[in-house]
Amino acid sequence: MTLTKADLVQQVYKNHEGLTKAQATDSVEAFLRISKNSLINGSDLLLSGFGKFNVKDKNARRGRNPQTGAELTLEARRVVTFKPSGILRDKINAS
């Protein structure tokens, strides 16, 4: 089962009685917007007890189309990686 943004909004709404559904939606949207902007600007995102999102630069490299065998050049790019915290890793492996 995949946890969606709508599921996150629902959980925030259920766990915080003082919030309306619109406020819960705004809260989740604000968190995601701040997180995305941080990564877009090249900053790492560290969530204690959860993990760390890193932005890494990949160099250009030679690649190959597996269907045709034709060689091509894969351009340099930036990728986001995630490393779970030890706490999260332990909880996942305990279940």
- Under 8 Å between Cβ of 55 and 42: yes
Query: What is the chain's pLDDT, residue by residue, as a tens digit (95 residues)?
Result: 899 999 999 999 999 999 999 999 999 999 999 999 999 999 999 999 999 999 999 999 999 999 999 999 999 999 999 999 999 999 999 96
- Estimate the crossing angle of helix 5-15 against helix 21-40, to 10 degrees: 130
Quote the CA–CA distance of 91 and 31 in Å, as a whole number. Answer: 24
pLDDT score at 20? 95
pLDDT score at 1? 86
Q: Supply the pTM of this predicted model.
A: 0.80
Which SS3 state, helix, strand or coil, does residue 72 take?
A: strand
Nearest to 21 by CA among 8, 4, 33: 8
